[in-house]
Every structure is written in structure tokens, then in C-alpha cells.
Homo-oligomer: A and B are copies of this chain.
Amino acid sequence: MTETNHVWRLRKRPVGDITDDVLSLEQESIPEPTDGECLFRLNYLSLDPTNRIWMSDMDQYMSPVAINDPMRGLVCGTVIKSKNDLYKEGDIVSGLGTWADYQIGTPETVSPMADTGSVSVMDAFATLALVGPTAYFGLLDITHPQAGETVVVSTAAGAVGSIVGQIAKIKGCHVVGLTSTDEKCQWITKELGFDKAINYKTEDLPAALKQACPNGIDVYFDNVGGEILDACLKLMNLNGRISTCGLISQYTATGEVAGPKNYAMILMQRLKVQGFIILDYHDRYPEAITAISQWMAEGKIKVKLEVVDGLENASKTLKKLYTGANTGKLMMRVKDV
């Protein structure tokens, strides 16, 4: 245990892209837990699209990170000291923490992780802690896909999108994934079993979507908003459902964001559009974890992690999420367990 802590702090709200002066890495002292708290060392830090929302002062589902506060993140750590019976030294915990080597945990922020069995702690944290349940509830609970229906997923090679598409295949749907490179298109069709993939950066999206969805779209799992949402709205079938999981195309926008031009399809096709945040499903996590663990064991769900070592690289690594530069779940590794 070193005597120095490293903490990324938010110094300004980003305007558009995340520039190098938005976060700064500081050497600080290691905090002491008080009654009811624990101190844990960071093992893994999850990088997620929603991080950009927390940096900004847009309307959002939690308070934004305050200027000069440590940056918020989903974390997996090992307990070093405990002043709460919930935690004992050596426990692996996960939950909502900060971008820091050493940090304080409370029952409101982190929980001990269940035994991960034959799955490594990193894989379990990467898939089961957030993105797996997000895909599971966002698809199944919000849209109820039926066998034979057409499901379109955006950011289909991303952490959530890749799992959404695989669950939709398990449910017997015709699954079309939208992603940003031919390599990712290959991966989701050849490795993950999507029926069709569209490279939205090189193909004519409306035409390609129409061809890939000859029977229209019944379910659209929206991670992006913007023009892709508009193209999907145009093809939605009667009583279609849209699960609004993310609007990543808007997060780095400056100024007002245009709304979807084809919003009227909600009326014309009697669509249901519903937003959700995985935190709302906290009580039902075990259901998702059980199902996804089993599908992983059966080889029906494959996951890909992109692991980057060293907390000092977190700021520049995060930017990959907003340029389509990563495939699968993006993760910082500080210390393996």
C-alpha cells in the first residue's frame, strides 16, 4: 500500500468534446474511513457513455459531478480497512465510486460482489455489474420482443448493444445492428450471430435499414438518438417499441440539440417510447445476473472487453467512447484480482 493516492478531479464542464483540461490527475493523501464506511483500493474502473453526462450540467438523472470533485465512475475494488460490518478486509466490492486509487465506500455506494464462480472478477464486473442488466431490462422489460419481430440496435458493437442483440437472437428475433466500422460489422454478424450489420458511417443509412428490415422495425434499442433515431422512427411498425437507453450523439453537442424530425411516427404508428436507467432496476438485478450468467456459460452470449492499464490513462481512454473507436466494454485496469 503506497502512501500516495491518485485522484482524477473534474476541473471544468466540457463544451463539445472532452478536452485535456476537463479532468486533472492529482496526488493526494489516502482518506481514512469513519464509522459506517470502508476504505477500498481500486481494481477496475468502468468507462461508460454516461460519464459524459455526469460531467455536464444538462438535465440528467443524478446530480452532475461538482467542479473540483473527484470524477464519478463505476468501480470494483478490494477493501483495505472497514468500519462497517457489511465489509471485511479483502472483500471485493463494486458500485458507484470515483476515479481514484483509494476511496471511501458506504452501503449507499458499494456492495460486496457475489462469488463469480468460474468467471474472472473482471469479466463479472464488466458484464454483470452494469451493462448486462442494462441490456436485459432495457430490451426485455421495456420492449417485450416477440419471436419473428425485427429488432434494431444502435452502437451494436458496444458493451450494451452487443448484449442486447444477442438476447434478441435468443428470443428468436431478426436482429440488425448499427455500428461504425466494417470490422465491427463482421464481429457482430460472424461472432455474435446478428442477422445483419450496417456501417452507418459508410452506408446510406435509410436505404440500408430499409433493405435490412424488409418487414419494418418492431423494436428499436436506442443508444444514440439523433439521425439514427430518425431513420429508425421512419420504419417503425404499428405498435412498435423504442427503448431509450442512451443518446450518445447528443452528449458532446454544443448548444441546442435538434429533436427527432419523425417524432410524429409516435402518433401515426402508436409507438411506445420509454426511457430507463438501470439504477431503477436495482431490486431485480439477481434475475438479470442469473439469466446472463447462464447464457454466458452456454456460449449464447459472448462479451469482448477492451482493457486499458493504468488509471493515469483514464481521461484519454474515455474519449474513445464518443468517436466509435472501441469495441465491446471499455475498462481501466489498475490492479488485477
Contacts and interface: CB of A to CB of B under 8 A. Distances in A.
Copies of this chain, tallied across the complex: 2
Interface in A233-283: 234, 244-247, 250, 256-277, 280
A270 B245 CA distance: 9
Interface stretch (A7-15, A55-63, A104-112, A306-314): A55-63
Interface in A199-239: 225, 230, 234
B274 A273 contact: yes
Given A270-B277, A273-B272, A264 B59 contact: yes
A267 to B, nearest CB: 4
Nearest to A142: B272
A32 B142 CA distance: 51
What bracket does the count of chain A residues touching chain B fall in? Answer: 35 or more
A125 B257 CA distance: 44
A157 to B, nearest CB: 21
Interface in A94-132: none
B263 A61 contact: no
Nearest to A274: B272
A3 to B, nearest CB: 41
A237 to B, nearest CB: 12
Given A259-B260, A261-B259, A270 B225 contact: no
A261 B58 CA distance: 13
A61 B268 contact: yes
Contact of A258 (B59, B258, B267, B276): B258
Interface of A: 58-61, 225, 230, 234, 244-247, 250, 256-277, 280
Given A61-B270, A258-B259, 5 more contacts: A59-B269, A60-B268, A260-B260, A270-B275, A271-B274
